[in-house]
Amino acid sequence: MGRRCWRQRVLAAACLGAALLLLCAAPRTLRPVFGNRALGSSWLGRERRSPLQKLYDLDQDPRSTLAEVHRQRRDLLSSACSRHTRRQRLLQPEDLRHVLVDDAHGLLYCYVPKVACTNWKRVLLALSGQTRGDPRAIPAHEAHAPGRLPSLADFSPAEINQRLRAYLTFLFVREPFERLASAYRNKLARPYSAAFQRRYGARIVQRLRPRALPDARARGHDVRFAEFLAYLLDPRTRRDEPFNEHWERAHALCHPCRLRYDVVGKFETLAEDAAFVLGLAGAPDLSFPGPPRPRGAAASRDLAVRLFRDISPFYQRRLFDLYKMDFLLFNYSTPSYLRLH
């Protein structure tokens, strides 16, 4: 992380006013203390290095090329936050709902749907000892079951801030339009269950297809990609309720300009970045499930190219503006297949 970066860490500190979590500029200690039993975690109660300490040690080793990659990503994110964000509202504990807690290993993981979050939840269940054997054997519905993994939002303000100071915090992100294309395919075009089609697909058809057949209005089973994008851009959508987490912007789920992330993993380098985190967590032999890369990344891009091909430049520009902060904060270039001018 570099000595200067560590001195300037910005974390959530114990600054609570009523229900608001005020994030204060309270630097994390350069070398996190051991044996803090107040957190009730197993690793803090033993004399061994925390994941955060391991990351600091790697940052001091010029031979660690992967640690340098993640240091650069942190610096780019910090710089982008400084350039592109203004005064922001105070975070409430509920804003931390997507941050999952592993007290046993000192980890905080902010999950972003459609960025291997099912497999990360499987891995966290395996790390916590809730399951044995290959994480891939855990059914997806069990990985997503409420209460299986604690959320940071469920803790008291003091407990939240203790963990933010001492734990390794990480998230995984994805090229925004490829993630959006994946969400459309997985939830509306070829869903594993009809629930999303009935809830969101039917709403999209009823709003945007005046002469829709009764079956389509009831089932929402044939939503076109252009209709899905029009629904996202319709001001009524976010006025009625927040975006669903599968197409909500990553920065709105994980607040990377308010919370300090030690590791910013990417879908495009998932295998390497996941192995890096698991090594820091003391589980280098745990295999992260998922398709081999770059095959998965190539398929992801091909899907986005195919879906956006028939979207007009006008709507491409409006959609890019909607997701622009994710492109800027996580250092993704404007996709070459877009026609923005």
Task: Enumerate the domain spans of the chain.
Answer: 51-174+254-290, 175-233+293-328
pLDDT above 90 (res 191)? no
- Residue 36's pLDDT band, with cuts at 50, 70 and 90, is very low
- Residue 194's pLDDT band, with cuts at 50, 70 and 90, is very high
pLDDT above 70 (res 218)? yes
Average pLDDT across the chain, whole number = 86
- Residue 292's pLDDT band, with cuts at 50, 70 and 90, is low
Query: Greater confidence, 163 or 22?
Result: 163
- What does pTM read for this prediction? 0.88
d(CA 317, CA 310): 13
| Sheet with 99-102: strands ordered across | 99-102, 107-110, 168-173, 263-266
Q: What is the pLDDT of residues 249-267, one digit of tens each?
A: 999 999 999 999 999 999 9
Nearest to 115 by CA among 192, 182, 196: 182
Residue 274 CB coordination number (10 Å) = 23
- Residue 223's pLDDT band, with cuts at 50, 70 and 90, is very high
Residue 121 CB coordination number (10 Å) = 22
- Residue 4's pLDDT band, with cuts at 50, 70 and 90, is very low
pLDDT above 90 (res 228)? yes
pLDDT at 23 (0 to 100): 43
Helices first, then strands: H and E counts in the chain:
17, 6
pLDDT above 80 (res 47)? no
Mean pLDDT of all residues in 96-101: 98
- Residue 291's pLDDT band, with cuts at 50, 70 and 90, is low
- Residue 3's pLDDT band, with cuts at 50, 70 and 90, is very low
